[in-house]
Amino acid sequence: MKAGDLVELAARNLRESVLRNSLTTVGIGVGVASLVAMLSLGIGLQQLANRRLERSGLFDTIVVTSRRSLRGFDRRPQGNGPPPAESRALDENARLEIARLPSVLEATPDIRFVTELHYQGKPQLTMVAGLPPSAGENDAFENIQGHFFSSGTADEAILQIQFADDLLGVHPKPGDPSPKLNADTQALIGKEITLSYAERMPSPQTSADKSPAGEKSGPPETSPGAANGAGEPAAASFSVVPREKTLRIVGITDQDPDGIRGASGARVFLPLQMVENLHIMLPSGMRESAANFSNVPSYLSLSVRVKSPNNVESVQDAVKKLGFNTFSVLDATRNLRRFFAVLDLFLGIFGSLALTVAALGIVNTLVMAILERRREIGIMKAIGASDGDVKKLFFAEAAVMGLVGGILGVALGWSIGRVINIGTNIYLRRQDLPAENLWSVPWWLVAGAIVFAVVVSMISGLYPAARAARLDPVQALRYE
Amino acid sequence: MTDKLARPGAIRTEGVQRHFRMGEATIRAVDGISLDVAAGGFVALLGSSGSGKSSLLNLLAGLDRPTAGAVIVDGRNLAEMSGEELSRYRRLRVGMVFQAFNLIPTMTLLENVELPMRFAEVDRSRRPELAREALVRVGLGARLAHRPSQLSGGEQQRAAIARALVNRPSLLLADEPTGNLDSRTGGEILALLHELNAQFGMTVVMVTHEQALAERYAERLIFLADGKVVADQAIVPTSRGGTGGATGVPPVSGHGQDGHGTPGKVTL
């Protein structure tokens, strides 16, 4: 018998006892739905965790500090580098060198300083941090009011909500709920704020803007970090000039960007490139200047972003070889993945239990069908159906039930997922937490669940099909 | 002889036995029957209940296997065939008609008649036409879309005959085809079988209780009792199809009674 006829006969047989077969099919559907629901919950949670971790920037970021800073995170010199006083300065040249390492996306200086800002004439003292354009992906700016910096050099500022409240004169008492973005804070967007800072200027005789073209032609006696400005005296001197800059408030965030080390604790964020161009006198610069008297900016620490968490280790090694201390949160994601693999396994086992019950339903339905269709099987054999044809027919019926049940189950599972997701988000919103998508039904789960349902159904059909094929036509056709 | 045996529809059984085990006892349903039926013959198997006539028919149909002996149809021994070969034999060589009609109640007549063609893998596009042809041939051209339950017994049996014919078998086996019909309708059915036998030249072997009808249409009557042939007689050709009976009709009324005919093999 050809496959087309097989499916046609199977479908017609299924239609004949439509109630029983539908109930069985719905049983499979529920089984598949529970499996899909469990697994997509597992996958969704895993994706949520991964997304959060990736966006937090914790796992693909290496913090590089100079050994001179004596502020290595483990307080011990890493590797066998030279003593702190002789090790390299973490300056612009080092930054460029690190940025050129393989797998490094960017190396940005952590610029963070305390300064005064003026808003409507009133001074506010706070911590200011520069943010690279890539920080726009950080989850702190996911629910930003307004928008992220339009460019790396824009004269713009993003405020942290607490600072915004300070500007508005709102002073929460201890125990008050954390401040929220609202219409008042919205009103700040577009307003101007004045940043006071100390510019570090080269000594008057070289005060003109140095052209970067002169960088490579520095006199040999200057230190590598001081190759700045042709014809400049070896020991550059500089002055510190107080300055003001007017910035436009473009966004307000209610969160702290945790992953961006240089920015944590800051209340006002500025575009990094713009801040760098201001040549602000930083404490680290002060110390470096005392040792070097170079005009090359140097940094307290750099944040190095790598392509993926897998690259962290190799980049860390490479940076250490350059003579710097590094720090990263490593291996945490690996453990996390193991946890989710186990979670998926357990969710899958619980989901499969329902499918097992459904499979028994198929066995029952088909065995009943054999009893009911004894005569029909006998007739089919008498007019030429082989044992194989009968077996295949019952198989096909099981497979069709599995297929329909599988499709039904995926749809049902997907709907359950939607409902749970909506419910969770309503709950999250009540708790004043941002909405999350903790539900994911990837295409392979859809295809896999349907195939699985068909396979399970066919396995369930094995015994009934063999029994039907074994049926003795003479017995079946005996006139009653 | 070999040529004759190999002709489509020629049947020979050689000492064929079919025994059933019922607990301790062995029932000898068919107990050493040797027969020759020429291709194109019309044979009636007569006998009381339990005489083994239906068991013999099932052996000829390849629905059952003999305990011993050979059943040779178209030159091939069914006893030596695999299950797959037997189903192929049933599919292409044999058409069966039953007392209970055995149409599939959920299918229309057309679908019922198409069913054997599904198993025989007849080209899908040709099936409706062939099925319609067969139904027209048995006089049911106006009932193609009816279900069996909407038809009279005689019509159902005609449909069953159409189904048996549709794959053009060389052998038509009928198990009490008139058993569920009134005598007039039964006569019509046998007349139809007789016509088809004459028209297509297929061998017809029919099990029946109704000796009178058998005498009218069959060429040969074989009487069975206790799994053995007790009488085997040819009907005088001139009397066939008429109202008259055969000469020397044996009264088959009991077990173990020897028939009056000539026992053993008779070749037509």
Query: What is the tens place of the pLDDT at every residue in B5-54?
Result: 667 778 999 999 999 988 888 889 999 999 999 999 999 999 988 899 99
Residue A18 domain boundaries: 3-54+334-477
Distance from CA of B120 to the nearest CA of A (A): 7
Q: Taking the model in full, what pTM does it have? A: 0.64
Nearest to A120 by CA among A252, A241, A249: A249
The pLDDT tens digits for A353-367 are 877 888 888 888 888
Is B123 touching A (CB cutoff 8 A)? no
- State whether residue A304 is helix, strand or coil: strand
Same-domain pairing of A22 and A124: no
Cβ-defined contact of A383 to B58 (cutoff 8 Å): no
Both A121 and A249 in one domain: the answer is yes
Residue B66: inside a domain: yes
Say how many CA atoms lie within 13 Å of B39 toward its Cβ: 19
Domain count, chain B: 1
Alpha carbon B98 to its chain's center: 9
State which of A329, A362, A394 marks the end of a domain. A329
- pLDDT tens profile B126-158: 999 999 999 999 999 999 999 999 999 999 999
pLDDT at B263: 41
Q: Tell me: pLDDT of B243 over 60.
A: no
Looking at residue A253, its pLDDT comes to 85
Length of chain B: 268
Q: Which of residues 148-177 of B touch A (CB under 8 A)?
A: 163-164, 167, 176
**How many whole angstroms separate alpha carbon B64 and alpha carbon A400?**
32
Buried b (16+ CB within 10 A) or exposed e, A142-170: eebbbebbeebeebbbbbbbbbbbbbeee
Q: Residues A3, A389: contact at Cβ < 8 Å?
A: no
Domain range for B44: 2-93+169-239
Strand blocks (E) in chain B: 11-22, 25-37, 42-46, 68-73, 76-77, 94-97, 171-175, 203-208, 220-225, 228-234
Q: Tell me how far apart the alpha carbons of residues A296 and A318 are, in angstroms, rounded to a whole number.
A: 23
Using CB atoms, which residue from A378, A383, A474 is nearest to B115? A383
Q: Is B145 a member of any domain?
A: no
**Cβ–Cβ < 8 Å for B232, B223:** yes
Rg (CA), chain A: 35
**pLDDT(A309) > 50:** yes
Token pair of A299 as six digits = 């940094």
Q: For residue B105, is it within any domain?
A: no
Q: Is residue A285 part of a domain?
A: yes
The helix or strand, by DSSP H or E, that contains position A356, with its residue range, turns out to be: helix A332-372
**Domain-embedded: residue A222:** no
Q: What is the CATH number of the domain that holds B217?
A: 3.40.50.300
Question: Of the residues A277, A306, A329, which one is the last residue of a structural domain?
Answer: A329
For residue B110, pLDDT beyond 90 = yes
Mean pLDDT of A414-420: 86
Tell me which residues of chain B, numbers 80 to 109, contact chain A at a CB-CB cutoff of 8 Å.
83-84, 87-88, 90-92, 95-96, 98-100, 102, 104, 106-107
Going by pLDDT thresholds of 50, 70 and 90, the confidence category of residue A212 is very low
Residues 6+ away with beta carbon under 8 Å from A412: A29, A30, A32, A33, A36
Hey, which residues does A248 pair with through a beta bridge?
A156, A192
CA distance B84 to chain A (A): 6
Say whether both A423 and A395 belong to one domain: yes
Alpha-carbon gap, residue A268 to A113, rounded angstroms: 10
Q: How many domains is chain A partitioned into structurally?
A: 2
